[in-house]
Amino acid sequence: MRFDVISLFPELFAPLLTSGITRRAFESGQMEVKLANPRDHAQGNYRRVDDRAYGGGPGMVMMAEPLAQCLAGIKAARPDAAPVVLFSPIGKPLNHASVERWAASHGAVLICGRYEGIDQRFIDAQVDEQISLGDFILSGGEIAAMALLDAVARLQPGVLGDEASHQQDSFNPSLDGLLDCPHYTRPETWAGQAVPDVLLSGHHSQIERWRRDQRLTLTARHRPDLIVQARDAGCLSAQDEAALSHCQP
């Protein structure tokens, strides 16, 4: 799996690739990340990659030609026809299902925009898919690209210490798309609050039922839309519905 990242600030990616548990995916070669700077393909003494917008207005716009040349070099070096992805406010929100799709793919070319945006002609000609992290604006696409790479990396075999770990994550299909339950560790009592008795009982079936009820309760309170989705998909049992009937909105 190979991800090529086009960024004016490739140095921002160094900590992601060398720190934390997800670095295993990059160090092992399961995920190859190549960084490319469009400034290396710009013309003139100043290697300019942006200019003022036609029609006026504040800010600068990334020029199409340096991006096109950078992308052409990447495509020539790749063994496959990878999709070109732009992080943009008009893109589809990134969710667990799309992360799983990318985790099972051969990778992509990720474009990190800056300034007021990118010349629309480049987008129309070269971009296959646009992704958004949510309804807010970042200074550039680098953080969004790192979020995607991190989410994909942790799904690769052997990256997490426990292979079943990501199966218990919020939004995972194994949990019917629900939020995860609360977690506790030592000491048994902290700041006057004790760990729930059921978690100390050793009764695994009771523990799993408690965790399921907690997931249902948290999801109903904070993301009721996910309860609707789970119900529509036929994922909720009569016992689940009974637990939900006691939830306080």
Residue 11 is among the residues annotated as catalytic for this protein: no
Give Cβ neighbours of residue 35 (< 8 Å, ≥ 6 apart).
4, 5, 7, 10, 13
Residue 89 is among the residues annotated as catalytic for this protein: yes
d(CA 99, CA 27): 20
Beta strands (DSSP E) in 37-73 are 50-52, 60-62
- What does DSSP assign to residue 164? T
- Which among 150, 169, 223, 231 is annotated as catalytic? 169
Q: Token pair for residue 97?
A: 């299902």
Residue 154 is among the residues annotated as catalytic for this protein: yes
Residue 116 is among the residues annotated as catalytic for this protein: yes
Q: What 3-state DSSP class applies to 207? A: helix
Q: Token pair for residue 35?
A: 């960084």
Beta strands (DSSP E) in 37-121 are 50-52, 60-62, 84-93, 107-111
d(CA 222, CA 218): 6
- Which among 116, 150, 209, 223 is annotated as catalytic? 116
Q: Token pair for residue 218?
A: 């948290």
Residues 179, 218: contact at Cβ < 8 Å?
yes
Q: Which amino acid is at 227?
A: I
Backbone torsion region of residue 134, taken as left when φ is above 0, otherwise alpha when ψ lies between -120 and 50, otherwise beta: left
Residues 48, 19: contact at Cβ < 8 Å?
no
- Which among 89, 93, 173, 224 is annotated as catalytic? 89
Known catalytic residues? 89, 116, 154, 169
